[in-house]
Amino acid sequence: MSFAYPWSGLVTIAAVILFFWTGAMVARARRRFGIEAPATSGDPGFERVFRVQMNTLEQMMLFLPALWLAAATFSDRWAAILGLVWLVGRIVYARGYYTAAEGRHQGFLLTIAPTFILLILSAFQLIRDIAF
């Protein structure tokens, strides 16, 4: 038996691994800055690391449905390619934000753009299928 969307499946696995990595970075930052759970504030350095993890979670809620809709309605390979851009964007976002809050903008754009494109591709295909 083969899986219908292997490329998007691999991107999904990579996105989950990325999220685990952001969680590990929060645990590391807790030790570094002396922030005991359940506190989520206290040092700006810790707060930036924490926001990277939370923003990644927030973005995953938009990205994953868009990825799978595009894989199913448009193309598994194209969805996965856009998914890889999303993953690179999250890494750029994290690295920039860890340094300074102003450093997050480029990575955010590399995250939101592929999600938006995936949604547009899916919507176009679904509307076309319904209308014709």
DSSP secondary structure of 105-116: HHHHHHHHHHHH
Residues 57-69 have pLDDT tens digits of 999 999 999 999 9
Task: Give the largest Cα separation in the chain, rounded.
Answer: 60
**Which CATH architecture best describes the domain 6-131?**
Up-down Bundle (1.20)
Residues 104-126 have pLDDT tens digits of 999 999 999 999 999 999 999 99
Indicate if 31 belongs to the active site. yes
Residue from 108, 102, 101, 104 nearest 44 by CA: 101
What are the extents of the domains in the chain? 6-131
Indicate if 104 belongs to the active site. yes
Residue from 112, 117, 110 nearest 70 by CA: 117
What pTM was estimated for this model as a whole?
A: 0.95
Q: Which of 30, 48, 51, 104 is catalytic?
A: 104
Residues 75-92 have pLDDT tens digits of 999 999 999 999 999 999
Buried-state track 60-96, b at ≥16 Cβ within 10 A, e below 16? bebbbebbbbbbbbbbbebbbebbebbbebbebbbeb
Q: Which of 31, 32, 77, 128 is catalytic?
A: 31
* pLDDT for res 132: 83
